[in-house]
Structure 1
Amino acid sequence: MKIKCIAVDDEPLALDLISKFIEQTSFLELAEKFDNAIQALGYLNSNEVDLIFLDIQMPDLSGMELARILDGKNQVRKPKIIFTTAYNQFAIEGYKVDALDYLLKPYSYEEFLKAATKAYQFYEKLETSSGENRSQDKSADYIFLKVEYQLVKVILKEITHIEAYKDYVKVYLKDKPNPLLSLTSMKNMEELLPSDTFMRIHRSFIINLDHIDSVTRNIVNIGKTQISVSDNYKEEFLKFMDKWMR
Structure 2
Amino acid sequence: MHNLIRRWVLLEGEGAGDVPAGGASAAAPSPAPVAAPAPSPSPAPDPGLTMPDSLLGEKPEPTEKPDGDKKPDEPAKPEEPIKYEPFKLPDGMTVDEAKLGEFTEIAAAARIPQDVAQKLVDLYSSELKAISEGPMRAWTDLQNTWRDAVKSDPEIGGKNLDKNLAATKIGLRNLLGEDAGKFFEALNITGAGNNPDIVRGLFKAASPHAPASPVGGSPVGGNQKTAGATLYPGMAAPGKGNEG
Q: TM-score range by the shorter chain?
A: under 0.3
* TM-score, normalised by the number of residues in structure 2: 0.25
Larger Rg: 2
Greater share of helix: 2
* TM-score, normalised by the number of residues in structure 1: 0.25
Name the structure, 1 or 2, with higher relative contact order (CA <8 Å, separation 6+).
2
